[in-house]
Structure 1
Amino acid sequence: MSPTIEKLLAQQHATLEALLRLLEQERASIVNREAGDITRHASDKKSLVDKIQLQDQQIARHSQSSQLKENPEFTRQVEAIQALLDECRSQNEINGAALQRAQLSFHKLNNLFQQSLGHHQTYNKEGVAQNLRSLGTNLKA
């Protein structure tokens, strides 16, 4: 026997709440630059999104799915689910932007570090790029 439409809606709502909590944890991991946690959160997020999509398909195929727009109680539940989904999308976009900023910051820091080590790229007479380390190693005195 297949689950009732009420149970499917409740499961989807609970899964979206779990996704929202995970997105909040992901944001904290990004802010704290915890690379391992960020990777784990990305994997967990993928699993939850897959689960939400499966639940959505189950709801769409359910024999009572036509009542989602007719029954006021179902309509309220669908609106609450949609609001949660919108909140998850917004939080995910914020996390994505924060992750991009963190990555850019890392690249800038890495470039500064490379420069401080004396790595310079020059070209030889054939036009081939060569990295040189000259931090005090080319002194003649």
Structure 2
Amino acid sequence: MSQTIEQLLELQHATLMSLSRLLEQEKGAIVSRQSTEIERLAKEKLNLINKVQQQDHLIASHTQRNLLTESPTHSEFVSKIKACAARCKELNAINGEALQRAQLSFHKLNNLFQQSRGKHQMTYNSEGAAQNIRTLGTNIKA
């Protein structure tokens, strides 16, 4: 039995609301730097996005799709769905920027650790030139 256009619209709206809640959870995971949670939520987000696309295809190919523009009730619901989709897009963009900033700060911190480690491994030879401590004693032939 095929679904009515109203059922498809309700399903689309419910899926987008789930996506919106998931994006809020993702934001929390990004802020608290929970990498395993971020990964899990990203997979779940991808599944919901695929579901939205499938539902959109079903709505676009439905025999009653003309109601979406002709009926004020249907067009109002479509506007509600579009607003929810726009909110999801906005939340996703914010999360993407937060992830990029987190990744950048991780790289900066990593570089500082490497520089710090490098400074502790440096020494000076008899001519006053800097020399890496790991190379000290490697040319001994005793």
State the partner residue of 1:134.
Answer: 133
Structure 1 residues 133 and 18: CA distance shift in structure 2, 3 A: farther
Distance in structure 2 (CA, Å) of the matches to 1:133 and 1:15: 58
- State how far apart, in whole Å, the 2-side matches of 1:54 and 1:101 are: 32
Unaligned 5+ segments in structure 2 are 121-130, 137-142
Pick the structure with greater CA Rg.
2
> Residue in 1 aligned with 2:99?
99
Counterpart of 1:85 in structure 2 is: 85
Q: Are residues 134 and 8 of structure 1, via their aligned partners in 2, closer, same or farther at CA, if it must alter by over 3 Å? A: same
Q: 2 CA distance for matches of 1:80 and 1:89?
A: 14
Letter in 1 for 2:27: R
Large movers: runs of 4+ above 2 Å: 132-135
Corresponding residue for residue 40 of structure 2: 40
Q: Secondary structure at the match of 1:96?
A: helix
Distance 2:80 2:132 in 1: 60
Q: How many angstroms does 1:118 deviate by? A: 1.3
Matched, 1:113 2:100: no
1:33 is paired with a residue whose SS is coil
Relative to the length of structure 2, the TM-score reads 0.84
Percent identical across equivalent pairs? Answer: 54
- Structure 1 segment 31-70 matched on structure 2, within 5 A: 31-70=31-70
Paired positions, count: 126
Cα distance in 2, alignment partners of residues 101 and 24 from structure 1: 17
Superposition RMSD in Å:
1.9
Q: TM-score, normalised by structure 1?
A: 0.85
8 Å Cα contact 1:20-1:88 kept in structure 2: yes
1:117 aligned counterpart, secondary structure: helix
